[in-house]
Each structure stands twice: as structure tokens, then as C-alpha cells.
């Protein structure tokens, strides 16, 4: 079993990569995009508990994910509504709210990352149903079929279409979630040998990425992936390698104390980093590291405030304050 602190460190690294990927927008961000979102789907699969009843699991996940999603969606959309209202652009105002309802690829700018939450909830719910009603062989076959569908989509115009609620990414998110589930079932993270092999694979693919970057492109929001076998191998090897590293970092008490709070606040940071990113980047274009730190630490501070009040915790974190 992976230590709880290792999971928080893993989430901290993942959300830091999300922020850096959005702030820098260069070749570094293109590499980060190859694995930063797969990291979270793999982790979610690893944390999946098959002992819950299906309806209980879906209800639990729906409440914890949808309440903050709706809260932040309403706040951001209402704020963005001020501009079309002031310019008497009622068609633009209506379109803004229509896009908010549609979610997924229709959300951009401040809400560009919101697709992840609805896609994650759909992934968790669908996988829970499949795992309940299918035997392991059939479940594996379904995951393989999803990857074949994604392979087919790569050769059609469908990959550029707009989708509601981020559901277009299910062909990638479900197999990644399944892989995380298998890692827990097979105790993959307990094997140092597997860790070294996965790390070597990641390093080898990284060398190939440096030589032939045109083969490595992934945008999970739009389910765009050019070489599905290479990119999935890269995403998986990177994600698993980072988890093995995180298990070692648990022993480094100072690093754990620094990163664990970021991991615990990862979803809040995901929602709020873009406003701080946009506000500060205009004034600090030559100091992107400072922009990244502000986009990480300001949401972290707000997360801390949310944990202190029951109503804020329920609305923004999807949970009650525990005594």
C-alpha cells in the first residue's frame, strides 16, 4: 500500500505541474501535458474502493465533486457576466451561461480546467458500474476497446468536436483509471524492481521524446493524442515513476511537510489557480516562476480558510468540517 503522505506528495507534484503547464505555455508545458492529467486519473483508480455499494459510491463522489464544481462555476460565470451586461451584449451573455451548462470543452479561460471534474466523476461512476457487473477479463476487454475507439478517433474529425462535460476524454480516462486500479490490486508499488524498470522506461522514452517530439502530443481535454501507444506508455511510465519517487520522499520529513498541504488542497488550487495566473502574469511577464508560486500559494491560503467554516467547507470543498 502507498503511504497517505506519498499520495499527498504525488497530488502536490501533479497540481504544481498543472499550474506550471498553464503559466509557461512553451515546450516545457507540452512535455508536462503528456502526463500531468493522466497522473490524477491513475491515482483516482488506485484509490477506488470496490467494497462500496454502487449507488453509495456514486452518491458520495457526486456530492464531493459536484458541489464545489457548481459553486465555482456559478461564481466565475456570474463574474464574467458583468462584461456582456455592461456592453448590452445579451447574446454573448446567453452564450456564456449556455457554455457554463455544457461544461467540458465549452469552458475556456478562467474555467478551462473544469472539464476534469465532470470527466473524473463520469469516469469513477462508469468504472464502478463496469467493475460491479463485469468479470476481470471482460473489464480488461472493455478498456482495450476504448483505446481502439480512441485510435479510430485519431483518424477522424471527431477529435476536434466540442463535447459536453468533458465526456470525450472517457476513452483515455477510463483505461488510465483502470490501470491505477490494477496497480493497487497487484501491489505494483510494493515492488522496487518494478519501480526501477518503470523509471528506466520513462527515461528511455524521454530520450526518444527529445529526438522525435512530433510523436508525442496529448491534450486530454480535447482527447487529442497523436501516437496512442507511445504517448500512453510515456504518460503511464511518468506517472508510476513519480509515485515511486513520492514513496521515497515520505522519508524526507521537510519535503513532506512542504508538499503535503499542497496535495491536500490540489482540487481547490485547480479551480483557483487560473484567476491568480491571469491577474499576475500581466504584471510579471518576465517572472513566470513568481507567477507560478502565486498561482499555487494564494489558492492554498483560501483552501485553509475554507476548512475553517462549515458552510465554506461544504460549498467549496464538498465536505463538512470535522471536529
What is the full DSSP assignment across 27-42? HHHHHHTTTHHHHHHH
Residue 311 maps to a domain: yes
The 3 state secondary structure assigned to 237-280 is HHHHHHHHHHHHHCCCHHHHHHHHHHHHCHHHHHHHHHHHHHHH
Residue 32 maps to a domain: yes
Residue 214 pLDDT: 93
φ, ψ (nearest 5 deg) of residue 235: -60, -45
Residue 120 maps to a domain: yes
Residue 16 maps to a domain: yes
For 24-64, what is each residue's pLDDT tens digit? Answer: 988 889 999 999 999 999 999 999 988 888 899 999 999 99
Residue 282 pLDDT: 81
Domain total in the chain: 1
The predicted model gives 229-233 an average pLDDT of 95
Q: With bands split at pLDDT 50, 70 and 90, how would you rate the model's confidence at 323?
A: very low
- Mapped onto helix, strand or coil, the DSSP state of residue 162 is coil
By residue range, what is the domain housing residue 205? 4-317
d(CA 254, CA 235): 28
Looking at residue 155, the DSSP 8-state letter turns out to be T
Residue 154 maps to a domain: yes
Residue 323 maps to a domain: no
Amino acid at each position: 500500500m502507498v503511504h497517505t503522505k506519498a499520495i499527498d506528495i504525488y497530488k502536490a507534484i501533479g497540481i504544481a505541474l498543472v499550474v506550471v503547464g498553464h503559466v509557461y505555455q512553451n515546450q516545457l508545458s507540452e512535455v508536462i501535458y503528456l502526463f500531468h492529467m493522466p497522473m490524477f486519473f491513475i491515482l483516482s483508480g488506485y484509490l477506488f474502493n470496490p467494497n462500496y455499494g454502487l449507488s453509495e459510491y456514486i452518491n458520495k463522489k457526486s456530492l464531493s465533486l459536484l458541489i464545489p464544481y457548481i459553486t465555482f462555476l456559478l461564481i466565475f460565470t456570474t463574474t464574467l457576466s458583468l462584461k456582456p451586461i455592461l456592453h448590452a451584449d445579451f447574446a454573448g451573455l446567453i452564450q456564456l451561461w449556455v457554455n457554463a451548462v455544457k461544461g467540458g470543452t465549452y469552458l475556456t479561460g478562467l474555467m478551462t480546467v473544469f472539464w476534469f471534474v465532470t470527466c473524473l466523476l463520469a469516469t469513477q461512476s462508469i468504472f464502478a458500474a463496469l467493475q460491479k457487473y463485469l468479470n476481470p477479463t471482460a473489464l480488461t476487454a472493455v478498456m482495450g476497446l476504448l483505446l481502439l475507439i480512441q485510435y479510430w478517433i485519431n483518424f477522424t474529425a471527431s477529435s476536434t468536436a466540442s463535447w459536453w462535460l468533458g465526456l470525450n476524454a472517457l476513452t483515455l480516462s477510463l483505461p488510465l483509471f483502470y490501470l491505477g486500479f490494477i496497480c493497487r490490486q497487484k501491489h505494483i508499488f510494493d515492488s522496487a524492481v518494478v519501480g526501477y524498470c518503470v523509471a528506466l522506461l520513462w527515461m528511455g522514452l524521454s530520450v526518444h521524446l527529445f529526438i522525435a517530439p512530433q510523436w508525442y502530443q496529448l491534450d486530454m481535454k480535447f482527447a487529442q493524442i497523436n501516437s496512442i501507444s507511445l504517448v500512453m506508455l510515456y504518460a503511464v511510465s511518468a506517472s508510476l515513476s513519480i509515485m515511486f519517487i513520492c514513496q521515497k520522499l515520505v522519508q524526507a520529513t521537510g519535503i513532506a511537510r512542504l508538499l503535503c498541504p499542497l496535495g491536500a488542497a490540489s482540487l481547490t488550487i485547480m479551480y483557483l489557480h487560473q484567476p491568480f495566473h491571469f491577474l499576475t502574469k500581466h504584471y510579471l511577464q518576465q517572472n513566470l516562476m513568481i507567477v507560478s508560486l502565486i498561482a499555487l500559494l494564494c489558492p492554498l491560503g483560501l483552501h485553509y480558510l475554507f476548512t475553517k467554516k462549515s458552510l465554506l467547507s461544504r460549498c467549496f470543498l464538498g465536505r463538512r468540517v470535522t471536529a
